[in-house]
Structures are given as C-alpha cells and as structure tokens.
Chain A
C-alpha cells in the first residue's frame, strides 16, 4: 500500500478536507487497494517522511524545510489550495501526477 502524506497546521481541518476529497479520487479510480492517505500536523511531516518508505507524495502546507526534504527524497509535493477551493480540474491534475509518479496508472 502506497501512501500520500497530507499535512496542514494542526492536521485536523484543511488537511482532513483535502484527504477526504483525495480519498474520493482514489475511490473513483478504484485504487483503494493500492493507495491511501495519511493526515498529520505539518511539524511532523519530516519525521514521517524519514521513517515511512511507503509515502510516495506530499500534499499540504509547503514550509521551506518540508519542500527541502521532498526534493531530497525526490518526492512530488503539491500545495493543497486546489482542494480547499474545490477546483476540480487542478485536483485531477495533482491526482494524475501522483499516480503516474507512483506507477499506478
């Protein structure tokens, strides 16, 4: 099972909204058995990326240190604004990039 890490400030509101919409995308693509989401506060993001190899992408708050870590790990990272503004086209673009990178398409 591959995972997408989704983080906002306290790992409760914006990130959970994003995850809930991303999970719908997973369901629509029938990838429930291959891909899931994990939601955390952004301050835990780096520790989690370092310890969990199953994480294939990051969506959320892009602090400089998190972006640095993603680039070090060659992991795609995205801002979560398209999910918070309910921008369907931009969401689809993010989803497609992630599954392509994870080799799930």
Chain B
C-alpha cells in the first residue's frame, strides 16, 4: 500500500470521516488529553451527519411547497436557505479548512509586528468564514494562490474593522480593549454613503428607545416562532390546503429550532483549538496594549440589534417575493446579522437608521445568495458534507460580505468590473474609517427624542 493509497482511503469516504480523523490528530499534536481529542472527533461526526439529515429534511419538506408556490404565483424561489450553520458545515468539510487557522494567525502576527493593527483576532470559530471565501475563490478559479492571497486580504480587513470598532463598542457597552473582528460588519462599508446622507436629515439624528420595542417583540423572535410564521406565509402564498399549510409550518418550526442544536457540535469540537490558538497569540504580545477581536455576540445585548433583525424578517420576505431574478427563499438565514450588527456599529445604535438601512440593503443579500446558490450546492456535493437531492439548490440568504466575496470570486477570472468593485469598496472603507474616527462617539452623536439639547 503506497502513501497515496492511504491518503485516498481516508479522503474517499467524505468529510464526515476525514475531518474528524484530522481533528483527533491535531488535538493530540496540541497536547489535548486523548479522551478529549476523541470526543472532539465524535462531536464533528455528529455535526456533519446531523447537518446532513437536517438539511435533507428541510429540502424534502420545502421543495414540494416551492413547486406549489411557483405554480400559484409564478415565483421561482428554488434555492433553499440553509443559513450560516449550513454554510459553516460545508466550509469545515473542505480538506484544506484547517490551514486557515494558520493563515488567520500568520497574517495577524505580521500585521502586529509591523504595527499595522492593534487587534488580535481571538475569534477562531469564524475561521470558517475565511474557509468559505477561499473555497468560493478556489471553486471559481482552481487556483490556490488566488484563494489564499485574496483570503489574506479578508483577514487584514477584519483586523482593520477590529481597530475601528473598539472605540464604538467601548462607548456603547463599556468594554475596554475588546472589539468585533467579524467580516459581517463589513456591510457597514456599503451602508456608509446612505448613512452619511442621513446625517443631513433631522429625523435620522434623533434616538428612539428600542428597549420597550424589544419587550413587545418577545416570543416572536424565538427561532421556532420564526420558522412557524415563515411556514404559514409560504404555505398561504402557495395556496395549499389548510391541513398541508399547518403540517408544513409545524415542520418548519421544528427544523428552525433544531438547527442550533446540531450546529453546536461543530463548536464544541473546535473550542479546544480556539482556546489554544488564542492563548498562544495573547502570550506572544504580553507587553503590548491590544484589542481582543471577538465574535459579534459581545454586542448582542443591544436592543436595537434585535429589533432591527426581527423587523428585517418582514423586509426579507417582501424583497424575496418582489425582486426580479431572485431565487432565494429566506429560511434558516432569515436573521440578517450583517445588517443588524453592521448597522449597529455604523450608526452607533440609531434604531431608525438601522431599520431604513436594512430595508434598502436587503436586496444585496438576496442577489448575493442567488449568485452563491449554484456554487454552495456544488461545494456541498463535492465534500459530501451534506446530501442535496438532484435538482435542488442550497444557499445562505444572509451571506456575510456578499459584495466583497463576489468581487473576490471574479478577480482571478480577470473580470474588469470585479477590480473596479473591489477598489470602490476599499475606498469607501477608508472614507468610513476616517469619518467614524473623527465623528462624535455614539453616546454623543444624536439627540434624545423629546430632549431639545443638540450634541451634534
């Protein structure tokens, strides 16, 4: 048996065999206890198989209903939204996924040594976001150089976002030296021009209290409730019988509630690595003041964020139905964190701005998801991470940084517009960065409603 035969034997069964074996070996390399390393591997298997079963059930239920929807309304919403959890499962299944820990840390080290950033990205969970970008680029171009090169740019962008948000987060939430390095906040860049226009419109410079609204939304924002409501809505639009609408909606309720339960297994498998890598980074820069970059939930206490995300579900469904050429049916990704978190940080928690910006920018995500659907479907099939029946497509309705990722996908193919788009995004980023650094902090930026004193 040659080395090649052994490699083939491990790769042939698909991601649910290969990736857990890899994580057990890596775990032992990082001096994990054998029992824990094996448990990590087992958790990954549960994640892959569980996600495959769940997406299978979702596709089985939703496909007949979207056919009815097509017949009743002429809408062709055939790309099924598996949310970020589905996209993450597909990404982690790529055989090169784990190399992106090294890329993320390597680029970060260089940026810190050169003093080009003050941020240490400790959010090792979202390494999968880099994997997804690279996998899309590799899928489009077949080139590893482009895949790793452009993804390194994403890592740099995330660090600069971290540098920018630290002062905003400190002002809004009182944490010091803690920031968000999530690429979803890149959506602030494309929202920046309209947000800048809003500076000149008085109504957008007053602050609305979101806390009481958040209380009113209450149960509606629980995953099962969203699943049920979307199920009822699609069922009614499809003009199915009441019995089948209710059957469908209860199924959607259950699937929406089970998604996080399954996706959790990926996280518990990967936590020991995140901890080891982050501790290494922190130890290396002990004597320097730096910001620790984390996942977005550190700003999740914001009532504005949840009110915006919940109201945006209505906008999402509305745009999905009226946008010409859209094929995405929002479901598992229907909470759009890019708009909610990006909007929160960009506007300093101005609820009215966040809601209006969400409405204006939702089409970007539906078109992004429509573009991504054939790619994500093929990627899922290639790694065998999830089983997708022939003729069905999967996608992710709230794909993070769709603008940037689409430019990245076409740059290796030499499409001139992708270079123009990339340069425009980077110029906007620089303008936004400079503007926010100069602008008053969120707590001083707006007038309280009913308070005559202007701080602007």
| A interface residues with partner B (beta carbon < 8 Å) | 8-17, 19-21, 39-44, 46-47, 60-65, 80-81, 84-86
Contact = CB atoms under 8 A, between A and B. Distances in A.
B307 to A, nearest CB: 11
User: Which of B214, B295, B297 has most A Cβ within 10 Å?
Assistant: B297
B264 interface: yes
Say which size band chain B's interface belongs to: 35 or more
B132 to A, nearest CB: 15
A39 B264 contact: yes
Contacts of A43: 221-223, 306
Contacts of A62: 301
A61 B125 contact: no
Contact of B271 (A20, A44, A80): A20
A61 B297 contact: yes
Given A11-B260, A81-B178, A64 B298 contact: no
A81 B214 contact: no
Nearest to A10: B260
B260 A12 contact: yes
B73 interface: no
Given A8-B295, A84-B295, 15 more contacts: A9-B296, A9-B297, A10-B223, A12-B85, A12-B264, A14-B295, A16-B267, A20-B267, A20-B271, A39-B264, A41-B222, A43-B221, A61-B300, A81-B178, A85-B122
28 contacts: A8-B297, A9-B297, A9-B300, A10-B260, A10-B335, A11-B260, A14-B295, A14-B297, A15-B297, A16-B264, A16-B271, A17-B274, A20-B268, A20-B271, A39-B264, A40-B260, A41-B260, A42-B297, A46-B218, A60-B297, A63-B300, A64-B301, A65-B214, A65-B215, A80-B297, A85-B122, A85-B294, A86-B282
Contacts, number: 103
Interface string B259-280: 0100110111001101100110
Nearest to A67: B301
B292 interface: yes
Nearest to B84: A10
Contacts of A65: 211, 214-215, 218, 303
Contacts of A9: 296-297, 300, 337
A63 B223 CA distance: 17
A84 B122 contact: yes
A64 B218 CA distance: 12
Contacts of A19: 268
Contacts of B175: 81
Contacts of B294: 14, 81, 84-85
B291 to A, nearest CB: 11
Contacts of A63: 214, 300-303, 306
Contacts of B215: 65
Contacts of B439: none
Contacts of A60: 297
Interface string B223-264: 100000000000000000000000000000000000010011
Nearest to B178: A81
A81 B298 contact: yes
A12 B335 CA distance: 14
Interface string B200-228: 00000000000100110011011100000
Nearest to A9: B297
A11 to B, nearest CB: 4
B271 A17 contact: yes
A41 B332 CA distance: 14
Contacts of A12: 85, 260, 263-264, 266-267
B260 A61 contact: no
A54 B221 CA distance: 24
A16 B223 contact: no
Contacts of A47: 219, 222
